[in-house]
């Protein structure tokens, strides 16, 4: 595992050199921040079609216009804004149906996420867990069949990559011994919202590793599934953290990457630079960085299985039949 401080101060991820002609790529949460910068890169790399999946159509339209105006190359890309609100299962299901009407889909970057200190329920679960974990995986399962179909037709591996974070290593995760992990995370009294974002990125890592394990990449299933960290970046993700937001923005001035620089890691994963070696991997500074410590430990593996089983229940409640795509 790279050292966080070394990575922040001495590593500048590079943008892969790739021509994305004919490709269709989806980026969630693409109206701002890392998702916006990644979408702009895809357009400048000649992608045929880039879909900005946003919860606010108007913000998405403004972002698409900014990308079109950013260069002559970007202006040639078909940029579309599709509605996707990860706080609503109905919205995710409708998005999944629309994705299945595409004639081609090369990569999906599941980037949208939140960081909040406020305890709130969304679709019956604490909002950070809903948006960053349950809904993100639900969206991933709904786009998998199209990625597979398209990859087989074009004889080129598809990519489903999730934006995680190295903060998973900092999660205290005091809920880890509970009989029911997700139910315990829903308790307003027991919730430690200071730890919640870190826990959400840990659970996302577990879920993506299990999803990748259950979908081994092969010629019959040519989709690379990965999770990446962009590193600590200047962005608006800290906006709902009250005083913490001022502190994080100050720290970002000292050691944060520009959002554009961080977004190169999203692009690197989406073009599948490491080929089938990136399947199931956590990518840090554009390289696989196999988790150490808790995640691969025996206990970590037990929790991964338990979480997956609980998640499957939630996903089936959200969209019956969706787990059959795994």
**Cα–Cα distance for residue pair 260/234, rounded to 1 Å:** 9
- Please pick, from the candidates 49, 55, 148, 209, the single residue that binds ligand NAP as defined by CB under 6 A: 55
Q: Does residue 201 carry a catalytic annotation?
A: yes
Interacting positions 276-315 with ligand NAP (CB under 6 A): none
Q: Does residue number 116 form part of the binding site for ligand NAP (CB under 6 A)?
A: no
CB of 316 vs ligand NAP, minimal distance in Å: 21
Which residue is catalytic, options 40, 146, 201, 234? Answer: 201
**Binding footprint of ligand NAP, residue count (CB under 6 A):** 27
* Cα torsion 177, 178, 182, 186: sign: negative
**Contact characters 124-143, ligand NAP, x per CB under 6 A:** -------x------------
**Alpha helix ranges (H) inside 169-258:** 181-185, 193-214, 243-255
**Cα–Cα distance for residue pair 219/205, rounded to 1 Å:** 25
Answer for the pair 99, 142: CB distance below 8 angstroms, yes or no: yes
Which residue is catalytic, options 89, 168, 197, 234? Answer: 197
Q: Does residue 6 carry a catalytic annotation?
A: no
Could you count the other beta carbons within 10 Å of the beta carbon of residue 78? 11
Q: Does residue number 79 form part of the binding site for ligand NAP (CB under 6 A)?
A: no
| Paired tokens of 199 | 């826990």
CB of 67 vs ligand NAP, minimal distance in Å: 14
Interacting positions 87-106 with ligand NAP (CB under 6 A): 87
Single out the residue of 202, 199, 122 nearest to residue 162, CA to CA: 202
Of 84 and 311, CB closest to ligand NAP: 84
To the nearest 10°, report the CA torsion of 83, 323, 206, 309: 130
**Residue 11, CA distances (Å) to 14, 126, 140, 187, 265 in order:** 9, 35, 30, 40, 12
Of 7 and 111, CB closest to ligand NAP: 111
| Paired tokens of 21 | 């002609």
Q: Which residues bind ligand NAP (CB under 6 A)?
A: 29, 31-35, 55-56, 59, 84-87, 111-114, 131, 163, 165, 229-230, 232-233, 235-237
Q: Which residues are catalytic?
A: 197, 201
């Amino acid at each position: 595992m790279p050292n966080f401080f070394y990575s922040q101060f001495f590593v500048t991820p590079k943008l892969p050199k790739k021509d994305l002609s004919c490709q269709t790529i989806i980026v969630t949460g693409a109206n701002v921040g890392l998702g916006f910068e990644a979408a702009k890169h895809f357009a400048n790399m000649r992608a045929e079609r880039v879909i900005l999946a946003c919860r606010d159509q108007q913000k998405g339209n403004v972002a698409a216009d900014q990308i079109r105006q950013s260069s002559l190359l970007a202006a040639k890309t078909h940029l579309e804004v599709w509605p996707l609100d990860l706080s609503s299962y109905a919205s995710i299901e409708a998005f999944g149906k629309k994705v299945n009407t595409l004639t081609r889909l090369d990569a999906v970057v599941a980037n949208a996420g939140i960081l909040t200190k406020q305890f709130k329920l969304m679709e019956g679960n604490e909002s950070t867990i809903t948006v960053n974990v349950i809904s993100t995986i639900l969206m991933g399962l709904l786009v998998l069949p199209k990625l597979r179909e398209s990859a087989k037709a074009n004889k080129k591996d598809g990519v489903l990559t999730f934006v995680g974070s190295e903060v998973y290593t900092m999660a205290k995760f005091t809920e880890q011994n509970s009989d029911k992990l997700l139910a315990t995370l829903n308790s307003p009294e027991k919730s430690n919202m200071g730890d919640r974002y870190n826990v959400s990125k840990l659970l996302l890592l577990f879920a993506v590793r299990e999803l990748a394990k259950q979908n081994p990449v092969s010629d019959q299933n040519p989709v690379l599934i990965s999770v990446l960290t962009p590193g600590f970046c200047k962005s608006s993700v800290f906006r709902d953290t009250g005083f913490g937001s001022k502190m994080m923005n100050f720290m970002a001035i000292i050691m944060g990457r520009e959002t554009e620089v961080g977004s190169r890691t999203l692009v690197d994963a989406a073009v599948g630079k490491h080929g089938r070696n990136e399947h199931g991997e956590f990518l840090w500074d554009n390289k696989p960085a196999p988790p150490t410590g808790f995640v691969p430990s025996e206990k970590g593996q037990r929790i991964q299985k338990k979480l997956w089983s609980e998640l499957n229940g939630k996903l089936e409640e959200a969209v019956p039949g969706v787990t059959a795509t795994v």
